[in-house]
Amino acid sequence: MNSNNLQHDSAVLKKSWIKTSTKENLKIYWYNFRRNKLSLIGLIIVLICISLALFPQLFARYPAHVEAFVDYSNASKGPSSEFWFGTDNYGRDIYTRVIYSFRGALVMAIVVLAISVPIGTTLGLIAGYFQGTIVDTIIMRLTDIFLAIPPLILAMSIASLLEPNMTNTMIAITVSWWPWYTRLVYTNAASHSQEYYVKNAELIGASTPHVLFKEVLPNCMSPILTKMALDVGWVIIQTASLSFVGLGEQPPHPAFGQMISDGSNYLPEQWWQTIFPALAIIFLVLGFNFVGDGIRDMFDKGSQS
């Protein structure tokens, strides 16, 4: 057998084969995803929210109202053609401020998840793979401790030690978020570690990191990704709750919770100050929830024939 021939074969054929198998997988995923109409609606909503976060200036009408701005002549006006969502008591356009709040919310979600998911997942993988040993006990008891701390209290403690701002709130939410992933991955990893292909990798002599990340982890990805999509909504609600009590994005820059908090003083007459930011949260969270359902369906190997 001519080894040069084989080299030529493998290089040339590689590209076309990789394309076919990846394309094949993507086709299956997309088919499963779009089977549920709600997932598609969710996807559209999410794309809208991302556009708003990336390019608020394209959609907002009065960008200046996001910073320190006062115009008492237009204060506390209801929805009109000039101010689509009305104004607050400083005369700032609520529509613009809502649009600009999307970025903060999504950034918060991304950063929190980007840090807490890898940490939580890795710990869960290790604990699950070594289930029954002391490693499992240490990690899971640590997880239990962190789960027991209410995020609100933690955030307020951090705020009182350091200043209340976006970064510190992010830290607080991240610290209270990773244990959920450890829990989730733990059960998955524990059961997948008993699969024959994992055992086979061990019997071939593969190293433990390889087994954890290349054999066990890919099988846990489905619930992780689904949870991440749903968590975007949860983190945003958590952020809103914290900014409702003054932790998080500080004025004059807008944030959903902060706007709801300010507006709540004027309920029910000036309903627009509270309702529109609240609707924005609902819109955002619903979108990610639908997408989360879609992601879960996407990986559902049961519906593939």
Partner 1 sequence: MSKEKLLDIQDLRVWFKTYRGYSKVLDGVNFHVNQKEKVGLVGESGCGKTTTMKAALRLLEGTSASIREGSKVQFSGQDVLSMDNDELLDYRRNHVSMISQSPMSALNPVFTIGEQMMDVVKYSDRVKSGNTKEMEEVIVEAVNSVMIPDPARIMKSYPHQLSGGMRQRICIATALVKPCELLIADEPGTALDVTVEAQINDILRKLVDEGDSSLVMITHSLGVVRDLVDKIYVMYAGEIVEIAPTKELFHNPRHPYTEGLLASVPRLTGGGLSAGIYGYVPDYFDPPSGCRFANRCKYCTDDCLKEKPPMVEVSPGHFVTCIRWQ
Partner 2 sequence: MSKSLLELKKLVMHFPAGKNQVVRAVDNIDLSVIEGEVLGLVGESGSGKSTIAYTVMGMYNQTDGEIVFDGDVYTSSDKRNKDFHRKAQIVFQDPGSSLNPYQDVRTILSLPLKVHKIVPRNEIDNKILEILETVELPSNFMYKSPNAIGGGEKQLVAIARAICSDPKFIVLDEPTSSLDVSIQAKIINMLMGLKEKNNLTYIFITHDLAVIRNVSNRVAVMYLGKICELSPTEEFYAEPLHPYSQMLLSAIPVVSEEEEKLKPAEVKSVGEVPSPVDIPLGCSFNTRCKYVQPKCLEVDPEMKEVKPGHFVRCHLYSDE
What does the binding site for partner 1 look like in residue numbers (CB under 8 A)? Answer: 27-28, 31-32, 304-305
Task: Name which of 205 and 302 has its Cβ closer to partner 1.
Answer: 302
- Shortest CB 200 distance to partner 1, Å: 23
Cα radius of gyration (the chain): 24
Cis check: omega of the bond before 179, within 30 degrees of 0: no
Residue 270 interacts with which of partner 1, partner 2, none, CB < 5 to 8 Å by class: none
**Of the two residues 12 and 26, which places its CB atom closer to partner 1 in the complex?**
26
Which of partner 2, partner 1, none interacts with 117 (beta carbon under 5 to 8 A by kind)?
Answer: none
Cβ proximity to partner 1, 200 vs 304, nearer residue:
304
Shortest distance, CB of residue 243 to partner 2, whole angstroms? 40
Environment class of 208 (CB within 10 Å of its CB; exposed 0-12, middle 13-18, buried 19+):
exposed
Q: How far is the CB of 31 from partner 1 (least distance, A)?
A: 3
Report the partner that residue 27 touches, choosing among partner 2, partner 1, none (CB closer than 5 to 8 A by kind): partner 1
- Choose among 105, 73, 45: nearest CA to 233: 105
Q: Which residues pair with 87 in a beta bridge?
A: 93
Task: Report the amino acid identity of residue 26.
Answer: L
Instruction: Report what 305 binds from partner 2, partner 1, none; CB cut-off 5-8 Å by kind.
Output: partner 1
Give the distance from CA 37 to its chain's centroid.
22
What does residue 113 show for φ and ψ, rounded to 5 degrees? Answer: -70, -40
Please tell me the distance from the alpha carbon of residue 41 to that of residue 52, in angstroms, as a whole number. 17
296, 290 contact by CB (below 8 A): no
**Nearer Cβ to partner 1 (222/250):** 222
Report CA-CA distances (Å) from 201 to 124, 190, 209: 20, 16, 11
Footprint on this chain of partner 2 (rule: CB under 8 A): 1, 3, 6-7, 9-10, 13-14, 17-18, 20-21, 24-25, 195-207, 210, 214-215, 218-219, 221, 301, 304
Q: How far apart are CA 20 and CA 192, in angstroms?
A: 28
Please state, in angstroms and rounded to a whole number, the distance separating the CA atoms of residues 257 and 285: 14
Q: Residue 303 CB, nearest distance to partner 2 (Å)?
A: 13
Q: Give 14 or 37: the residue with its C-beta nearer to partner 2.
A: 14
27/141 with CB nearer partner 2? 27
- Between 34 and 77, CB nearer to partner 1: 34
Write down the least CB distance from residue 127 to partner 2, Å: 21
Q: Please, what is the minimum distance in Å from the beta carbon of residue 227 to partner 2?
A: 18
3-state helix, strand, coil in the chain (%, to 5): 75, 0, 20
Q: How far is the CB of 305 from partner 1 (least distance, A)?
A: 5
Interaction partner, residue 18 (partner 1, partner 2, none; CB < 5-8 Å by kind):
partner 2
Name the 3-class secondary structure at 69: coil
Contact yes or no for 290/48 (Cβ under 8 A):
no
